[in-house]
């Protein structure tokens, strides 16, 4: 059996079986979800082992017929970028199972079932090689997250869940229109075949068409990222979601947007993407600075981390639209970093919420005395988040800024402001929460990490250090794939020319 | 095609479903005074058996496809598809009606007899190839449904619904008949194939007159499918009618009316497609927009689903506006998916409505997931399908429709339609929110446990919805093969 199919099928099977587990025994659901998500993670590790790092193209391809007319195929494969994103999803799912162990007490069975369904949807989004299949997974992942926020969230959960659903839905229907349009022009949903037609010049778009199609895709992705000014759903969704929901949302779901831009929007519509690049870069920079400034004034820890996500994801978008190898590598690396670091921050904030039942910064103080290990873990995640050298975010941000500087030095200059601001808001929050006078309420409610929580924290911190110290092990396959994306955006540039001009087939074939 | 009045006994096979339905409907009415039992179980079971037999007959009739009764009827894939569809809707209407009628203490035989008559009319509509037969089918179906809408005669709202439905429906039928008369006057025929030949031929009548006839029929049919701007009746009737009847009205008569809509406009009036296309275009956009935006404001579930039903009629109108065989096939697929998800959703409403249908508000669904997880899960599937989330029939239906529309270069209609479906997500989500995110209220606490018939009424359409969402090919292939219609 194909390994990739296994990694995708395990969560789906897990979801169905989780539905059949007895409601009366929540423990069975917990252990089942843990076992299954660990098995999926092991499967994806094996994927990493078998992955041929010297290739830029798709690997572990599974291509099965699904619907005959119009032809839609169940076509999945991994490349150097999607491989890491799949690993990120499968790595974080068991962690989410563990942090929800005591936190989720009502409707436990449904919670873990939805978590596994979410994993299925996310893995599918990154692996799909058929535009239609991609859209299916894209929407499927929406449903479990909606329920995760809406059922197990905090006070304003319903508002947040509905807002989240509607924002994403509004973006994705336009993408659906664009996908159907592409199909009608290309006669296929197969992504590789469409790229091939573009490269060989058999499929040509007028600049106007290309721009509209690009925007239809891009808006759907930009909402998910979220790019300023489409980010307003994010603070609500993050703050109201249960800890596991926040972690999955921040760490993996937002990457669906940036992955989509990198994997679909750029290669499909290169000249429109290039033409929009300055505007998008400016929006990304506004997002970086705006997110950081708003984070600084948040009285709520979770909201602070949520706004820091807006800022960090701005770096990813900026890196992508620098159209440089360094920028793209940095963007992908930053996607992974943000997944680990922000995931860790949300997890740790969640652990503190479980203890003190408050997210307000002012309700804390002196936690470092009461729970030194928890504070240490939080400190490491904080330092990683602000981009301290030897921790993961530093590498990503550095690459992005370097790439941005190559494209336009002013961009890099403004964006680096975000790094400075990150240090301000994160360290200030850390100071107010962990130092200062220890109140009685905090002391009595703040035991240190227990064994289960250590199991959550250690892998995350290990990854931060590893990715910060030895980035080469991650960046090698990434570089191959991003180079291919760049090549695709170069080769297709002639499409800017008039429709009647002969396509430059030779150039595109010569890669 | 030559119109010969010759009667061929073999043609009766083509008419078998209607014969079975009418005979059994009459039998049930006769049985009532003989049995003298106020128990709908007997009649209901009989009706179920009748409908099942009629499905078999409809499929059997398709073994000898072709025109019958001198071209008045035609048994093709299209007719068989819609016959099976309306018969299936009948079954899914009767299943939840057992407990509903018992609760309202209205277990009479008439309900079932009228339902069978109405379905017989719809089967005729599905297979008719002649404007007068279409009209007869329409009337049989409509008159029975008018009575069904007012079936709970002590209920004020039901009375209002029946009266409104009857008055406005008669008007609409009048319009339709006027159009038929004009066509007969202009072309000298009521057979669709002949009308098409004349309209497209060298001696075509004045375009104005054909256009006028087409517009008059359009008005009549748009009323029957509750498409804007002739949808005003729908919310009041859907809200007032007994819930199983509402479920039926929103699926069966609508599907049959769309069947004749497609047949008339894709055959007889296909040659003047350029002329009526803008009409359908505007009606599609209006229906989607009015339906969805009005549904946003509703607090009554039946009323909300009524507006949603207007919006869904709009989606099917998009398929009609694309004026292609792919569009016809997409409309067929959509109507099947829509019938399943909508009848399923109404079955839940009827299950929860309580005595005297007192629980109809969206608030009354609060906490359903905690008390009856299965019911909630099934309704979620229907709602997700109505939203158009992938892996449900509703998604593929929308997908095929908008694909057909884009192929016919209706870019704006597609974009506006898809944005509309994003708006629609909001009001369906409100029900999901109630069921899953709130604590149980009176209605849910008072709800009876699921009976076997009700479970079947929920699980069957849910399976159908998921099946259409995961393996849409089977139904779509059949629809695609049947969409070319006899011209």
Question: What is the DSSP annotation of A297-334?
Answer: T-SBHHHHHHHHHHHHHHHHHHHHTTTSHHHHHHHHHH
Of A107, A139, A162, the CB nearest to B389: A139
Burial level of A111, CB count in 10 A (0-12/13-18/19+)?
Answer: buried
The structure tokens 């009526």 sit at B276
pLDDT at A500: 35
- pLDDT band per the 50, 70, 90 thresholds, residue A447: confident
- Between residues B114 and A153, which one has the greater pLDDT? B114
- Chain A interface mutation, best of B318, B421, B429, B471, highest count of A Cβ atoms under 10 Å: B429
**What is the distance in angstroms between the CA of the first residue and the CA of the last residue of chain A?**
32
- pLDDT band per the 50, 70, 90 thresholds, residue A509: very low
Quick: pLDDT tens for B392-420.
989 989 999 998 998 888 888 888 888 88
What is the pLDDT averaged over residues A230-245?
87
Is the pLDDT assigned to residue B36 strictly greater than 80? no
What is the pLDDT averaged over residues B284-295?
91
Q: What percent of chain B has pLDDT over 70?
A: 97
Does residue B402 sit at the A interface (CB-CB below 8 Å)? yes
Does residue A181 sit at the B interface (CB-CB below 8 Å)? yes
Distance from CA of A143 to the nearest CA of B (A): 8
Of A107, A158, A183, the CB nearest to B433: A158
Quick: pLDDT tens for A177-208.
899 888 888 888 888 888 888 888 788 888 88
Query: A–B: how many Cβ contacts below 8 A?
Result: 80
Of B411, B425, B473, the CB nearest to A169: B425
Of B370, B426, B473, the CB nearest to A162: B426
What is the pLDDT averaged over residues B167-190?
90
pLDDT at A511: 33
Does residue B472 sit at the A interface (CB-CB below 8 Å)? yes
pLDDT at A1: 62
Of B391, B426, B472, the CB nearest to A67: B472
Interchain proximity A135–B419, CB inside 8 Å: no
Instruction: Find chain B residues with C-beta within 8 A of A174's C-beta.
Output: 415, 418-419
Rounded to whole angstroms, the Cα distance separating B51 from B20 reads 8
Is the pLDDT assigned to residue B334 strictly greater than 50? yes
pLDDT at A208: 87
Distance from CA of A266 to the nearest CA of B (A): 22
Rounded to whole angstroms, the Cα distance separating A120 from A137 reads 8
Q: Is A130 strand, coil or helix?
A: strand
Instruction: Find chain A residues with C-beta within 8 A of B412's C-beta.
Output: none
pLDDT at A472: 81
Of B391, B406, B436, the CB nearest to A140: B391
Stated as kind and residue range, the H or E segment containing A65 is strand A59-67
What is the pLDDT averaged over residues A222-250?
88
Distance from CA of A165 to the nearest CA of B (A): 8
Instruction: Find chain A residues with C-beta within 8 A of B437's C-beta.
Output: 150-151, 157-158, 161
Mean pLDDT taken over chain B = 87
Instruction: Find chain B residues with C-beta within 8 A of A176's C-beta.
Output: 399, 402, 418
Contacts 24+ apart (CB under 8 A), A353-356: A353/A243, A353/A302, A354/A102, A354/A103, A354/A243, A355/A445, A355/A446, A355/A447, A356/A441, A356/A442, A356/A445, A356/A446
Interchain proximity B426–A68, CB inside 8 Å: no
- pLDDT band per the 50, 70, 90 thresholds, residue A498: very low
- pLDDT band per the 50, 70, 90 thresholds, residue B40: low
Instruction: For chain A, give the longest Cα–Cα distance.
Output: 77
- pLDDT band per the 50, 70, 90 thresholds, residue B38: low
pLDDT at B120: 93
Quick: pLDDT tens for B57-67.
999 988 888 88
Of A161, A173, A183, the CB nearest to B419: A173
Of B414, B422, B433, the CB nearest to A166: B422
Q: Is the dihedral of CA A448, A451, A452, A453 positive or negative?
A: positive
By C-alpha distance, the chain A residue nearest B424 is: A166
Nearest one of A113, A90, A89 to A30, comparing CA atoms? A113
Of A158, A177, A183, the CB nearest to B414: A177
Q: Is A358 strand, coil or helix?
A: coil
Nearest one of B287, B294, B281, B285 to B254, comparing CA atoms? B287
The Cα-based distances of A320 to A24, A287, A333, B74, B408 in angstroms read 49, 15, 11, 60, 36
- pLDDT band per the 50, 70, 90 thresholds, residue A410: confident
Contact indicator for A334, A319 with CB cutoff of 8 Å? yes
Instruction: Go through B197-231 and write b for each residue having 16 or more CB atoms within 10 A of its CB, e for each that does not.
Output: bbbeeeebbeeeebebbbbbbbbbbbbbbbbbebb
What is the pLDDT averaged over residues B274-292?
90
Rounded to whole angstroms, the Cα distance separating A178 from A132 reads 11
Quick: pLDDT tens for A304-322.
999 998 999 999 999 999 8
By C-alpha distance, the chain A residue nearest B468 is: A67
Rounded to whole angstroms, the Cα distance separating B359 from B436 reads 18
Instruction: Find chain B residues with C-beta within 8 A of A107's C-beta.
Output: 370
Tokens of B361: 């508000």
- pLDDT band per the 50, 70, 90 thresholds, residue B343: very high
Q: Cβ neighbours of residue A198 under 8 Å, at least 6 residues apart?
A: A267, A268, A492, A495
pLDDT at B1: 46
Interchain proximity A169–B476, CB inside 8 Å: no
Please report the residues numbered 345 through 384 in chain B whose beta carbons come closer than 8 angstroms to any beta carbon of chain A.
370, 373, 384
Of B384, B415, B437, the CB nearest to A143: B384
The structure tokens 């079954």 sit at B91
Contact indicator for B168, B162 with CB cutoff of 8 Å? no
Q: What percent of chain A has pLDDT over 70?
A: 95
pLDDT at B69: 83
Rounded to whole angstroms, the Cα distance separating A507 from A103 reads 57
Instruction: Find chain A residues with C-beta within 8 A of B407's C-beta.
Output: 184
Is the pLDDT assigned to residue A139 strictly greater than 60? yes
Rounded to whole angstroms, the Cα distance separating A174 from A177 reads 5
Instruction: Find chain B residues with C-beta within 8 A of A177's C-beta.
Output: 402, 406, 414-415, 418
Does residue A435 sit at the B interface (CB-CB below 8 Å)? no
Interchain proximity A173–B403, CB inside 8 Å: no
Interchain proximity A136–B418, CB inside 8 Å: no
Contact indicator for B178, B160 with CB cutoff of 8 Å? no
Rounded to whole angstroms, the Cα distance separating A465 from A86 reads 20
Please report the residues numbered 50 through 79 in chain A whose beta carbons come closer than 8 angstroms to any beta carbon of chain B.
67-70
Q: Is A132 strand, coil or helix?
A: helix
Instruction: Find chain B residues with C-beta within 8 A of A23's C-beta.
Output: 373
Contact indicator for B266, B195 with CB cutoff of 8 Å? no
Does residue A166 sit at the B interface (CB-CB below 8 Å)? yes
What is the pLDDT averaged over residues A140-153?
87
Interchain proximity B402–A157, CB inside 8 Å: no
Of B370, B418, B437, the CB nearest to A157: B437
Tokens of A299: 């009285």
Mind giving me the DSSP string for B258-306?
A: HHHHHHIIIIITGGGHHHHHHHHHHHHHHHHHHHHHHHHT--BHHHHHH
Mean pLDDT taken over chain A = 85
pLDDT at B117: 93
Rounded to whole angstroms, the Cα distance separating B480 from B483 reads 5
A162 Cα distance to chain centroid: 20
Q: Is A23 strand, coil or helix?
A: coil
The structure tokens 């159908």 sit at B464
Does residue B412 sit at the A interface (CB-CB below 8 Å)? no
pLDDT at B336: 93
Distance from CA of B406 to the nearest CA of A (A): 7
Helix ranges (H only) for A225-264 are 233-240, 243-248, 254-260
**Where is average pLDDT lowest: A251-260, A443-452, B331-340?**
A443-452
Spans of all domains in chain B? 11-482
Q: Cβ neighbours of residue B417 under 8 Å, at least 6 residues apart?
A: B284, B285, B288, B314, B315, B318, B401, B402, B405
Interchain proximity A166–B429, CB inside 8 Å: yes
Does residue B19 sit at the A interface (CB-CB below 8 Å)? no
Q: Is B308 strand, coil or helix?
A: helix
Does residue A46 sit at the B interface (CB-CB below 8 Å)? no
Does residue A424 sit at the B interface (CB-CB below 8 Å)? no
Is the pLDDT assigned to residue A492 strictly greater than 70? no
Does residue A106 sit at the B interface (CB-CB below 8 Å)? no
- Between residues A369 and B301, which one has the greater pLDDT? B301
Contacts 24+ apart (CB under 8 A), B181-186: B182/B209, B182/B212, B182/B213, B182/B216, B183/B131, B183/B210, B183/B213, B183/B268, B184/B131, B186/B210, B186/B213
């Amino acid at each position: 059996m194909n390994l990739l199919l296994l990694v995708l099928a395990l969560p789906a099977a897990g979801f169905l079986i989780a539905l059949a587990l007895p409601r009366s025994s929540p423990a069975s659901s917990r252990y089942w979800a843990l076992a299954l998500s660990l098995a999926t993670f092991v499967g994806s590790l094996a994927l990493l082992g078998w992955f041929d790092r010297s290739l830029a193209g798709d690997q572990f391809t599974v291509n099965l017929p699904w619907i005959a007319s119009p032809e839609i195929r169940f076509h999945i494969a991994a490349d150097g970028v999607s491989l890491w994103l799949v690993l990120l999803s499968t790595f974080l799912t068991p962690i989410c199972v563990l942090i929800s162990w005591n936190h989720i007490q009502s409707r436990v069975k449904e919670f873990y079932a939805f978590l596994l369904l979410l994993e299925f949807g996310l893995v599918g989004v990154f692996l799909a090689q058929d535009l239609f299949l991609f859209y299916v997974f894209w929407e499927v992942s929406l449903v479990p997250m909606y329920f995760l926020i809406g059922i197990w969230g905090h006070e304003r959960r319903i508002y947040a869940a509905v807002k989240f659903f509607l924002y994403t839905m509004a973006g994705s229907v336009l993408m659906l229109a664009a996908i159907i349009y592409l199909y009608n022009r290309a006669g296929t949903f197969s992504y590789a075949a469409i790229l091939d037609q573009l490269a060989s010049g058999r499929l040509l778009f007028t600049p106007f068409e290309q721009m509209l199609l690009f925007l239809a895709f891009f808006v759907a992705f930009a909402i998910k990222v979220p790019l300023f000014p489409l980010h307003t759903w994010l603070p609500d969704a993050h703050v109201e979601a249960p800890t596991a929901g926040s972690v999955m949302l921040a760490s993996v779901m937002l990457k669906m947007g940036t992955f989509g831009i990198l994997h679909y929007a750029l290669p499909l519509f290169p000249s429109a993407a290039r033409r929009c690049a300055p505007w998008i870069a400016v929006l990304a920079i506004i997002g970086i600075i705006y997110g950081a400034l708003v984070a600084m004034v948040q009285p709520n820890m979770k909201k602070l981390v949520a706004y820091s996500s807006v800022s960090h994801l701005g770096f990813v978008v900026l890196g992508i639209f620098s159209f440089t190898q360094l920028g793209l590598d940095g963007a992908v690396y930053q996607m992974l970093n943000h997944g680990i670091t922000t995931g860790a921050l949300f997890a740790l904030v969640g652990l503190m919420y479980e203890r003190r039942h408050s997210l307000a910064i002012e309700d804390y103080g002196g936690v470092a005395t009461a729970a030194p290990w928890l504070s240490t873990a939080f400190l490491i995640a904080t330092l990683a988040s602000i981009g301290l050298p030897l921790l993961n975010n530093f590498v990503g941000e550095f690459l992005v800024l370097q790439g941005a500087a190559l494209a336009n030095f002013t961009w890099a200059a403004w964006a680096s402001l975000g790094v400075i601001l990150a240090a301000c808001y994160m360290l200030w929050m850390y100071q107010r929460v962990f130092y200062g006078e220890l109140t009685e309420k905090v002391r009595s409610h703040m035991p240190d990490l227990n064994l289960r929580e250590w199991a959550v924290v250690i892998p995350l911190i290990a990854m931060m250090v590893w990715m910060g110290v030895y980035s080469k092990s991650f960046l090698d396959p990434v570089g191959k794939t991003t180079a291919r994306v760049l090549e695709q955006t170069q080769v297709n540039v002639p499409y800017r020319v008039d429709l009647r001009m002969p396509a430059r087939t030779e150039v595109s074939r010569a890669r | 095609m030559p119109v010969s009045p010759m009667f061929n006994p073999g043609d009766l096979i083509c008419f078998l479903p209607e014969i079975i339905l009418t005979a059994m409907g009459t039998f049930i009415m006769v049985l009532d005074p003989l049995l003298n039992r106020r128990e709908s179980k007997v009649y209901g079971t009989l009706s179920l058996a009748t409908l099942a037999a009629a499905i078999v007959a409809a499929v059997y009739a398709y073994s000898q496809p072709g025109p019958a009764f001198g071209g008045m009827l035609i048994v093709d894939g299209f007719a068989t598809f819609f016959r099976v569809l309306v018969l299936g809707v009948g079954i899914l209407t009767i299943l939840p009606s057992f407990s509903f009628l018992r609760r309202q203490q209205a277990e009479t035989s008439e309900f079932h007899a009228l339902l069978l008559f109405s379905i017989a009319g719809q089967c005729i509509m599905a297979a008719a190839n002649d404007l007068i037969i279409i009209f007869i089918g329409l009337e049989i179906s409509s008159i029975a449904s008018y009575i069904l809408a007012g079936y709970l005669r002590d209920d004020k709202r039901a009375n209002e619904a029946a009266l409104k439905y009857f008055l406005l429906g008669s008007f609409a039928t009048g319009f339709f008949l006027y159009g038929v008369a004009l066509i007969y006057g202009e072309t000298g025929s009521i057979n669709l194939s002949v009308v098409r030949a004349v309209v497209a031929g060298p001696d075509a009548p004045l375009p104005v007159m054909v256009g006028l006839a087409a517009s008059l029929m359009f008005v009549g049919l748009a009323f029957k499918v509750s498409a804007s701007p002739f949808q005003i009746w729908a919310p009041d009737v859907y809200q007032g009618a007994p819930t199983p009847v509402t479920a039926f009205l929103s699926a069966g008569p609508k599907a049959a009316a769309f069947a004749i809509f497609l047949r008339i406009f894709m055959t007889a009036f296909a040659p003047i497609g350029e002329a009526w296309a803008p009409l359908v275009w505007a009606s599609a956009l209006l229906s989607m927009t009015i339906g969805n935006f009005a549904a946003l404001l509703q607090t009554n579930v039946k009323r909300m689903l009524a507006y949603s039903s207007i919006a869904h009629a709009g989606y099917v109108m998009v398929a009609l506006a694309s004026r292609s065989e792919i569009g016809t096939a997409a409309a067929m697929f959509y109507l099947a998916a829509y019938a399943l998800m909508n009848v399923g959703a109404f079955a839940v409403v009827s299950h929860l409505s309580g005595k005297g249908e007192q629980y109809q508000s969206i608030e009354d669904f609060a906490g359903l997931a905690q008390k009856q997880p299965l019911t909630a899960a099934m309704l979620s599937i229907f709602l997700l399908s109505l939203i158009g989330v992938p892996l449900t029939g509703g998604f593929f239906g929308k997908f095929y429709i908008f694909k057909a529309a884009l192929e016919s270069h209706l870019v704006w209609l597609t974009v506006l339609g898809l944005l509309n479906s994003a708006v629609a997500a909001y009001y369906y989500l409100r029900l999901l929110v109630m069921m899953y995110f709130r604590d149980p209220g009176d209605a849910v606490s008072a709800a009876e446990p699921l009976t076997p018939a009700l479970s079947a009424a929920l699980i069957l359409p849910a399976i159908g919805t998921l099946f259409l969402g995961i393996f849409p090919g089977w139904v779509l292939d059949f629809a695609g093969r049947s969409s070319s219609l006899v011209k």
